[in-house]
Structure 1
Amino acid sequence: MSFNKFGTNKSATRYFISKLAGENLVPKDIPSDELSALNDVSAIYVYCSKDLKTYYIGQTNSIIRRHGEHVKELEGDILKYEKYFCEGHIAIFYGNEISSNLNYIEQSLIKLFKEFGAIYDFSIFNGPEGNKSDFIQDKRESLDVEIIHKILCSLKDHDLLNKEINTQIKSLNSLLYRHSPFYELDKKQVEILETVLQSSNIYCQKEDSFSTFIIRGGAGTGKTVLMNHIIAQFFGKNIFLKNGHDKTLKIGVCLKSNMIKPITTIFQSYGKSLKENNIFIGKWMDILLEGEKEEFDYILVDESHRLMQYKNNIFPEIHKQFLKKRKKENVLNLILACSKRTVLFYDDIQRIRPNDIEAIDCEDSYNPIYNFVNSSVYDERLSIQYRIKINADLKNYNRRYAKNYVDYLKYILQLSKKPPQNVDFLETNYFQIVDKMEEVKEYIECKREVFPYKNARVVAGYSRKDRWSGKKGTPNRKIEVKAWSEIDMAWNKDYKSWASVDSEKNRNQVGAIHSVQGYDFDYIGLIIGNDMTCTDGKITVKIKNYKDDRGKIKLKCDELEKYIKNVYYTLLTRGIYGIRVFIEDSDLKKYWEDMNNTLIRASQNKRL
């Protein structure tokens, strides 16, 4: 029998570890009187196969009953658990810390084991996420991740988990972090994942014809999640190949600056060096410099619609010289030239500056400025909305409502002529237009009070700038005049970390598009500024009120219009549970509210 505990007080977490024997998988190392007592406590349990290739994680308030149910489960005509776990072990963890957070701990362990399994090639029986628990939050992790840390360490100490897994608190936090990539994939995502992987002869014997993969999807459809699944598979395969002294795949991952640290930290948590296993993550220029040493097998590009093309005056000189030296007009063609295969995660509506690459257009009619041949392009679209969670029946999130909300935004912003199927979501508390800017801030402050560990932020279109009082060199030059003085808030100061670091300082700054893109937030308060208006039913822009100077040089209003609309579409799709919108321009506000009333009446008529 192996009995132990974490800590010394009465509330300390305790555990038993026992070998499983015979047809009924009897935990022979636990005395019957203690097993009877265990049956009356809440517990987390882990089945471990003898070869440590298979695991099952569960929670129960009756371990004897639950164990008996598992023992009877069939796989075809064979007793499933006997097949995998005979002569293996069961670990049972219990105590006040466990019982108060059963669902959360179970869900977190399942998630971690799925991630570890993706890298180290072991399996876990569990379905997507175990029993329902709250969305994982940073502050809550600081309390509960210590218990998870102790459970993992206990399994390692007893040789029931023998992989090189970094179980330090900081590393586990990064793996449980809300942007961690390893949520369950849907059927379409799995299909895309397998196609990308099978295009390499390391995964199959014949070479696939695809050299370019275009994965399209609107905001919140899981493009980054899928990308990280692909990285994990390559990472695990390279670890395996390296251990066998075989040649590994060279993988490049191009990210926007504000996503590099969180994504890199996730994969570093496996205790394995990315570069030593031929995985390179960074900004496009860093990746391409690395690619000049040796061609990449794959380059994956998140937010590929934000890749740069040469534009006078708004193109950084260092980038201009980089492309000029390599005789390329845009970064995409340079990436295609540096890699055998390229995977682009793409959403045309999220292009927000004129130096973002031109639209790549549609299958069988791709933009000829890009150097890929139609016959070698795999082109698929993700359509299920995962980010936005609109609850109407107090039971389940309604994905139809979420999709209709995104379609509604495109229609309202005149990015699409196709109206949403209905606007029933407007009858929920998810989306509302408010009358005063102060209400946006009040909404966010209210949600922080109700949910202290959720991420609620104020964001805005780039229609104002922070400035300084007085002239340069005068004594009062240091006094900052905040862009959003009505709510006593200035713009975010560090676009790389503003969205990912939930500090008090960051919470009290307004997020701009360049800090927000690529992230989601639990609650959003959005200010639509005076850079957009509506005249005779048509949305137009006020170019003088748009303050992104690098994003408007030499552009006419009709050219700038699509970029400003795309900015607001992107901002309007950041909120998970709710959003409040203040519209500065009175004509735009009236247009929006009139459109809402028209769409609501149309939805009501459909129901009659």
Structure 2
Amino acid sequence: MQNQATEKLSPFKTPTQEQSELINDAKDFIYAHLHDATPAVFVITGDAGTGKSVVLSQLFYQIQQATHDNTSDMANTSNYFMVNHPELLKVYRHIAGELPGLLKKNFQRPTSLINQMNKHHETFDVGIIDESHLLLSQPDHYNNYYGHNQLLSLLKLCHVLVIVFDAHQVLRLKTYWTQDRLKKLLAPYTQHWVHLNHQFRMQADDSLISWINHFTGDRILLPLQKSFRHHYDFRIFSDAEEMRQAIVSQNKRFGLARIVSTTGYPSTLDGGQHFITEGRFKLPWDQYNYTSTPWAEIPQTINEVGSIYTCQGFDLNYVGLILGPVVKLSSDGQKVEIDTSKITDVESFKHRTDMADPQEILNAKIQLNLNAINVLMKRGVKGLYLFAHDPALRTRLYSEYQIINH
């Protein structure tokens, strides 16, 4: 039986009409610019859960099938699917191993492909990039990338790129993108932009999606509403251990229920265990996953706390989110604040030489944390449970939650 991540991204999953039209538009764009002298870029935008990865998976499968058709414009072309997220790459390679016409070697991390092409003085025809907001926008010698921008490096190697971009899922300064930055970089190239709107992941009322978007956008705390629980299991907890027990219960019923957290707790990449403690609650952060199975689909990870790096791009049935010490209620009680002094994910916020303005760096840190919260809040298909470390925020949310449930 297919796991849930593989099933979601399967090329045989029936697309919606909007998705089918988008796939056809992307194919037409590829065919039209396959032999242009300068690269062309097809950009797909949309918030988390709008089906962007589904579109890319089916698009790549279709063009790879066409490479074996001698009557097709794609005949004998060389094409690659790229993703910087190691957990998501495992899913795509698993799919490739089970389907005719798809090869695992055609699914690569961008750095690996760039270095491979440059070493052998090769180019390719079409590149499809999932989560292009994770592309490096500066050198990263630790990951063997010595260029200045991965997107520019790839444009020098191919004829057409199809990329998915969501500025709200940018999580690190070394992959710092905004839509304005992307448009400026792509200005010299032929391009076409399309936007996906419909939220597919969360079986939630639009009012809850709006509440999340304000929480992580302008940071205004809208009132909780009874409609949040229409067809969706939304809960606020005053005790993290009670939330953990509820997630364990849902995991036994439905599977793929996990605890996740924002930054703000001890976290060092030293191979050891680092715990998140909130009263009676105590669990370790997720460990590096050396297996070919995505973190959320390993049964034992019910006893770990997931991070943004293990959960981004994946569906969970239920997510229990701990809003850590970085997330606070403003003094007037109306907004969410991000306390950047409490950030413990130091890898995400390493200094950039091209960002000298202290205010720009501070704004970027705040925005990246809000992006992470947005991504984590939108992981759950069936339910979202919340616990806040900050006493004032916890009291505000829990008090409102009790009111709408009586």
Bin for the TM-score computed over the shorter chain: 0.7 to 0.9
Q: Which residue of 2 aligns with 1:216?
A: 45
Contact preservation (8 Å) 1:330, 1:357 = no
Q: Which residue of 2 aligns with 1:494?
A: 288
Contact preservation (8 Å) 1:199, 1:208 = no
Structure 2 residue 257 is the aligned partner of structure 1 residue 463 = no
Structure 2 residue 91 is the aligned partner of structure 1 residue 262 = yes
| Alignment equivalent of 2:114, drawn from 288, 293, 297 | 288
Could you say what secondary structure the match of 2:162 adopts?
Answer: strand
Moved more, 186-195 or 549-558: 549-558
Unpaired segments of 5 or more residues in structure 2? 352-357
Unpaired segments of 5 or more residues in structure 1? 1-140, 142-171, 324-328, 391-400, 473-477, 601-608
Contact preservation (8 Å) 1:408, 1:423 = no
Contact preservation (8 Å) 1:353, 1:552 = yes
Could you say what secondary structure the match of 1:296 adopts?
Answer: coil
Contact preservation (8 Å) 1:174, 1:266 = no
Could you say what secondary structure the match of 2:107 adopts?
Answer: strand
Contact preservation (8 Å) 1:200, 1:208 = no
Residue 257 of structure 1: how far off its partner (Å): 1.1
CA distance in 1, matches of 2:6, 2:183: 40
Q: Which residue of 1 aligns with 2:277?
A: 484
Q: Which residue of 1 aligns with 2:203?
A: 389
Q: CA RMSD in A?
A: 3.7
Residue 433 of structure 1: how far off its partner (Å): 1.1
Go from structure 1 to structure 2 and tell me whether the alpha carbon gap of 1:193 and 1:496 turns closer, same or farther (over 3 Å shift).
farther
Go from structure 1 to structure 2 and tell me whether the alpha carbon gap of 1:500 and 1:425 turns closer, same or farther (over 3 Å shift).
same
Contact preservation (8 Å) 1:199, 1:207 = no
Deviations 1:400-426 (A, max 9, x none): x2x432222111233477979x87224
Question: What are the equivalent positions in structure 2 for 1:403-442 lying under 5 Å apart?
Answer: 403-415=206-218, 424-426=227-229, 429-442=232-245
Question: What are the equivalent positions in structure 2 for 1:447-462 lying under 5 Å apart?
Answer: 447-451=250-254, 454-462=255-263
Residue 240 of structure 1: how far off its partner (Å): 2.8
Residue 241 of structure 1: how far off its partner (Å): 3.6
The one-letter amino acid of 2:56's match is M
Deviations 1:419-439 (A, max 9, x none): 79x872245652111100112
Residue 550 of structure 1: how far off its partner (Å): 1.5
Q: Which residue of 1 aligns with 2:375?
A: 570
Structure 2 residue 138 is the aligned partner of structure 1 residue 310 = yes
**Aligned residue-pair number:** 389
Q: Which residue of 1 aligns with 2:337?
A: 540
Contact preservation (8 Å) 1:309, 1:330 = yes
The normalised TM-score by structure 1 is 0.57
Percent identical residues: 19
Go from structure 1 to structure 2 and tell me whether the alpha carbon gap of 1:294 and 1:524 turns closer, same or farther (over 3 Å shift).
same
Contact preservation (8 Å) 1:174, 1:269 = no
Structure 2 residue 158 is the aligned partner of structure 1 residue 339 = yes
| Alignment equivalent of 1:356, drawn from 154, 175, 178 | 175
CA distance in 2, matches of 1:300, 1:237: 15
CA distance in 2, matches of 1:479, 1:520: 27
The one-letter amino acid of 1:385's match is Q
The normalised TM-score by structure 2 is 0.83
Go from structure 1 to structure 2 and tell me whether the alpha carbon gap of 1:462 and 1:342 turns closer, same or farther (over 3 Å shift).
same
Q: Look at both structures and tell me which one has the larger radius of gyration over its CA atoms.
A: 1
Where relative contact order (Cα < 8 A, 6+ residues apart) is larger, the structure is 2
